[in-house]
Amino acid sequence: MKKNILNLLLLLILASCSEKIRVYTDTDSTRDIRTFSAYRWDEVKNLETANNPIYYNELNDKRIKTAVNNELQNRGYKLEDGESQLIAHYHIVINSETVSRDMTTFYHGARWLETDRNSYTLREGTLIVDLMDSKTNDLIWRGYAISVLDEFRPDLSEKMIQEAITKIFLKFPQSGN
């Protein structure tokens, strides 16, 4: 009974961790992103969709592009179909890792200590947004969000994508043009 309660507690702790999104950004310090004013979307590569068809799909593509478009346009960047100064692209990376933890349980009576090894699979998802110079194809800016994934839940995809994109672009500068 106590063992089941401890396992349940461990699962609840892991589930609570999945709500947290860690965000990082990186920029080319020799380039000023504010000097750019227009962007276009690069095509999703077939290799990426083949490796991860659950997450790379038309629905998530639309969700990601809509969220990024809103963030960029709110900062004065224009989406253009033809030639533009920036190329936007995204990647989805899913990593799985088996994690083991020792759980020590104290009992009354003859057996007062027992250690169990619990293993679980931890899936971590990363959403990466890149902005590249369209003339040189050099990476100018990268933002990415990382979160533990409990399970793939389409009903939460839109909310998670929107939250991740909002956090990624939190400190993204206004266009100077």
Domains of the chain: 21-99+120-168 (3.30.160.670)
Could you tell me the pTM of the whole model?
0.75
Question: For the chain, what is the mean pLDDT?
Answer: 80
Alpha-helical regions (H) of the chain: 2-17, 46-51, 58-74, 154-168
- Residue 33 has what DSSP assignment? G
- Range 16-20 average pLDDT: 54
Using CA atoms, how far residue 67 sits from 12, 61, 92, 167, in Å, is 30, 10, 15, 11
Whether residue 152 is predicted with pLDDT greater than 80 in this model: the reply is no
Grade residue 81 by pLDDT with cuts at 50, 70 and 90.
confident
- Range 75-103 average pLDDT: 86
Look at residue 7 in the predicted model and tell me its pLDDT: 38
* 9-13 contact pairs (CB < 8 A, 24+): 10/101, 10/103, 10/118, 10/120, 11/120
Among 24, 56, 26, residue whose Cα is nearest residue 140:
26
Instruction: Please give the angle made by the CA atoms of 17, 19 and 23, to the nearest 5 degrees.
Output: 95
Residue of higher predicted confidence among 103 and 14: 103
d(CA 159, CA 112): 46
Among 103, 135, 138, 101, residue whose Cα is nearest residue 120:
101
Whether residue 20 is predicted with pLDDT greater than 60 in this model: the reply is yes
Look at residue 57 in the predicted model and tell me its pLDDT: 83
